[in-house]
Structure 1
């Protein structure tokens, strides 16, 4: 098989922000032609599927500026420098929902949008949830409402496009599969 690699000959950083960096790469294509690639560099993120003993999934309702809308999604957050993703998952679960656990199982990791970004998202399943009296505080610029939904309610929220992000749709489908295979 011929190589499909695009060789970078020049990289320019055009934005370096708090969460992302945007670079433009000049590349040589496999056929020898030149092209440009705009790439979003991201430190990676985690998301947590948390199901209560009474069979409700813990989610957060949050305004998402890029969508100009409020959506419902599973707890998630950015991995800080030198932070283990599993530790990040526990921290984000507690900060966003007030629940804590020592039982996190890695389910899957995937690239969210490999056509233009290098963000790698790690999804964990949380067991043995304990509601905290004094949980870790959420980031000062983060405002969420905690929502606990049944599987039927989650499916309805997908239909209504209130749940509309890939990680949360994945979480609900994983939950469906989990129930179907019991």
Structure 2
């Protein structure tokens, strides 16, 4: 048995969208009582820490409707059905930045919001970057600006909340720990 496991008694899907679905589960708690859990199901995603030969981090700025503002992030995107995370990582890097990479290294996988969502992100490091001659198109509803920043500049963006999401803050921390000044 998993420590503190909550057994599902009943599950009711209340919304199914293009990307996410929402369900409400009735669960049996470890103490024998019942409770409800609202859970967002997500297909999973990848994120890419793209590092130039000069040690700069490639970021994209885009508007995030859920936050009602633009933020600066590492390239990322959702997994397509049946698509391997490495394939998604290369595709998203190309679509969002126009760059490819000779070296793509898996770093780790983590949960984004485990209190209410099952989304996980597979994190990769892309190095030995090169410009793609025939660039892939962004999704028709996607608008991004590409930035190349130093670790110091990225840390400042975290402090002034231009970088505001966990995956990108994690990437900046990783860059500082692994790459130093």
Smaller-chain TM-score range?
over 0.9
Post-superposition shift, 1:103? 1.6
Alignment correspondent of 2:170: 170
Alignment correspondent of 1:112: 112
Alignment correspondent of 1:147: 147
Post-superposition shift, 1:28? 1.0
Post-superposition shift, 1:2? 8.8
TM-score by length of 2: 0.96
CA distance in 1, matches of 2:89, 2:13: 30
Q: Which runs of 5+ in 1 are unaligned?
A: none
CA distance in 1, matches of 2:2, 2:79: 36
Higher mean C-alpha displacement, 4-13 vs 75-84 = 4-13
- 1:62–1:135 Cα change, 3 Å: same
Alignment correspondent of 2:14: 14
Query: RMSD value over aligned CA atoms?
Result: 1.5
Residues 1:61 and 2:61 aligned together: yes
Q: Which ranges of 4 or more aligned residues in structure 1 deviate by more than 4 Å?
A: none
Alignment correspondent of 2:90: 90
CA distance in 2, matches of 1:154, 1:12: 42
Q: Secondary structure at the match of 1:141?
A: coil
Post-superposition shift, 1:54? 2.0
CA distance in 2, matches of 1:173, 1:112: 16
TM-score by length of 1: 0.96
Post-superposition shift, 1:55? 2.0
CA distance in 2, matches of 1:154, 1:172: 6
CA distance in 2, matches of 1:152, 1:28: 48
CA distance in 1, matches of 2:31, 2:177: 44
Residues 1:80 and 2:83 aligned together: no
Q: Which runs of 5+ in 2 are unaligned?
A: none
Q: Secondary structure at the match of 1:12?
A: strand
Higher mean C-alpha displacement, 99-108 vs 74-83 = 99-108
Measured against aligned partners, the alpha-carbon deviations of 1:49-105 in whole angstroms (never above 9, x if no partner) come to 011112211100000011101000000000000000011000000000000124210
